Amino acid sequence: MKNVNASIITIGDELLIGQVIDTNSAWIAQQLNKIGVAVKRRIAVGDSAVDIVDILDEESKYSDIILMTGGLGPTSDDITKNVLCNYFGGKMVVNEGALKNVKYLFEQVFKRPISEVNLRQAEVPDVCEVIQNKRGSAPGMIFNKGRVIYISMPGVPYEMKGIMEEAVIPLLKEKFKLPVIVHRTMLTAGIGESALAEIIKDFEDELPAEIKLAYLPTYGMVRLRLSTSGFDKNAVEENIDKYFNDLKLLAKDYLVTDLDEPMQVVVGKLLKEKNKTVSTAESCTGGYVAHLITSVAGSSKYYEGSIVSYSYNVKESVLGVHGDTLNTLGAVSEQTVVEMLKGLLGKLNTDYGVAISGIMGPDGGTEDKPVGTVWMAVGNKEDYQTQKINLRFSRERNIEVTGMMALNFLRKFILAN
């Protein structure tokens, strides 16, 4: 049986000049994959009628489902709705449901006067089926032509997600006979992509054709993913799990989790299991580790807070680092992070703590301590460990990789203590 293929088209000039990063199409791809739709291509095109028409023509050759986002806003640079109206040979009419929704939003939610421009959001081509948008003023639209279904959604992620979850996913599941696509993903840390490839070379060579292996580097770690598909869910899962278990054994020294979840979720689960708390003292990461931890819903169960000690002053006055230590050894030193850790645990009274100090660049490096030098300490009231790392990326990436390495260092300490 052949795959059901989809193309995802994001529309907007801002995507082509790189002013925004497209997060919609990754999210849509995830949702389609979960229900067994194979994403064939993701394309970004500009707010140009001829370019939109060209890409619709092309993608309809490859795909059964074409999902579009963007270009449905109230302003004149948003042309998608009119282009689709012409493409499918319709004319614009007011949709009563959409009109009611726009009025409700402006009168009850935004509490702003409603304008001509806003009211035009309720107009749709008479050849489409309307999907009401409960989170905004631009409705979604469904068109059918030949064997292909075309769905247009707003580009605002929150609105698009509502329409996908409530209407599009149920519709596609009903309309198509979809195979089960199964992925198994694990996260490894502390080993590079090619070293990992050496370790699992024999395994990889012997993988059957129906199972694909992918290496996904992420913040200095590597995720390994096995993928397969079929129509008998149990058989497919049994088959992939056999290989996935073998792979876990091979990678066991570097395995962080055998689920497709980020490091901060793994650390959070571990703390919840042990009923323990943690706090952080951050210099160079400037609150990024706190942000990672608190991006997880329910993190207040195990996270107390962070002292972001960006200056010498805060290191001394809040964390109690000795002026002598800072002046003789410097803020980026083993002794400083140890004193930060001890001050943190004393002050915030958590079971575990992490302290980080380094030079993220682009300036601030010296011959002894080049940009990318980072010291970190992790510990509890009885014991601690320190490590020094050397990074060689941009400021942004140095912060991200340091944050992840600190969480991995914490994870290993918790497991051992």
Q: How far apart are CB 210 and a second copy at their closest, in Å?
A: 15
Is the distance from CB of 29 to CB of 86 less than 8 angstroms?
no
Asked whether 369 and 252 are in contact (CB, 8 A), the reply is no
291 binds a second copy (CB under 8 A): yes
14: contact with a second copy by CB under 8 A: yes
- Please name the helix (run of DSSP H) or strand (run of DSSP E) that holds residue 233, with its range, or none: helix 233-250
List binders of a second copy among 230-259 (CB under 8 A). none
Residues 390 and 373: beta-carbon distance below 8 Å: yes
Q: Which long-range contacts (CB under 8 A, 24 or more apart) does 313-317 make?
A: 315/283, 315/340
Q: Among residues 19 and 416, whose Cβ is nearest to a second copy?
A: 19
Whole-angstrom distance, CA of residue 230 vs CA of residue 235: 8
Q: What are residue 123's DSSP bridge partners?
A: 94
CB of 117 to a second copy, least distance (A): 6
Binding mask 370-409 vs a second copy (x if CB under 8 A, - otherwise)? ----------------------xxxxxx-x----------
The answer to whether residue 219 forms part of the interface with a second copy (CB under 8 A) is no
Output 299 or 408, the one with its CB closest to a second copy: 299
CA-to-CA distance for 318 and 311, rounded, in angstroms? 11
Residue (1 or 297) nearer to a second copy, CB: 297
* Binding letters toward a second copy, positions 135-174, x by CB under 8 A: x-x------------------xxx--x-------------
In angstroms, what is the minimal distance from the CB of 5 to a second copy? 10
Contact between 98 and a second copy by CB under 8 A: the answer reads no
Q: Cβ–Cβ contacts within 10 Å for residue 372, how many?
A: 19
Q: Is 308 in the site for a second copy (CB under 8 A)?
A: yes
Nearer to a second copy, 208 or 416 (CB): 208
Q: Distance (Å, rounded) from C-alpha 255 to C-alpha 274?
A: 20
Choice between 170 and 346, CB closer to a second copy: 346
Q: Is 304 in the site for a second copy (CB under 8 A)?
A: yes
Residue placing its CB nearer to a second copy in the complex, 125 or 361? 361
Residue numbers 67-86 binding a second copy by CB under 8 A: 73-77
Angle between helices 263-274 and 395-416 (to 10 degrees): 30
274: contact with a second copy by CB under 8 A? no
Distance, in Å, from the CA atom of 123 to the CA atom of 183, rounded to the nearest integer, reads: 41
Per CB under 8 A, the list member of 91, 100, 112, 233 interacting with a second copy is: 112
Can residue 330 be called a binding residue for a second copy (CB under 8 A)? no
* Nearest residue to 103 via CA among 132, 126, 128, 80: 132
User: What DSSP string runs through 53-99?
Assistant: HHHHHHHHHH-SEEEEE---SSSTT--HHHHHHHHTT--EEE-HHHH
Site for a second copy in 184-203 (CB under 8 A): 185, 192-195, 197-198, 201
* Contact of 118 with 98, CB cutoff 8 Å: no
Q: Which of 3, 16, 334, 412 binds a second copy (CB under 8 A)?
A: 16
Residues 6+ positions from 354 with CB-CB distance below 8 Å? 278, 279, 280, 281, 289, 341, 376, 377, 378, 406, 407, 409, 410
Output 54 or 241, the one with its CB closest to a second copy.
Answer: 54
- In the list 103, 225, 269, 412, the residue contacting a second copy (rule: CB under 8 A) is 225
Does 365 participate in binding a second copy (rule CB under 8 A)? no
Of 139-147, 263-271, 292-300, 380-388: span binding a second copy (CB under 8 A):
292-300
CB of 218 to a second copy, least distance (A): 7
Does residue 295 bind a second copy (CB under 8 A)?
Answer: yes
By CB under 8 A, tell whether 215 contacts a second copy.
yes
Instruction: Please report whether residue 361 would count as binding a second copy according to CB under 8 A.
Output: yes
Q: Does 412 bind a second copy (CB under 8 A)?
A: no
At its nearest, how many Å lie between a second copy and the CB of residue 45? Answer: 6
User: Judged by CB under 8 A, which of 103, 183, 274, 388 binds a second copy?
Assistant: 183
3-state SS, 377-416, equals EEECCCCEEEEEEECCCCHHHHHHHHHHHHHHHHHHHHHH
Instruction: Round to whole Å and give the CA distance between 243 and 229.
Output: 14
Position 348 contacts a second copy (CB under 8 A):
yes
The answer to the question of residue 108 lying near a second copy (CB under 8 A) is no
Q: Least distance in Å: CB of 263 to a second copy?
A: 15
Q: Which backbone phi and psi does 302 adopt, to 5 degrees?
A: -130, -5
What separation in angstroms does the CA of 135 have from each of 7, 21, 160, 334, 386? 24, 22, 9, 50, 48
Distance in Å from the first CA to the final CA of the chain = 52
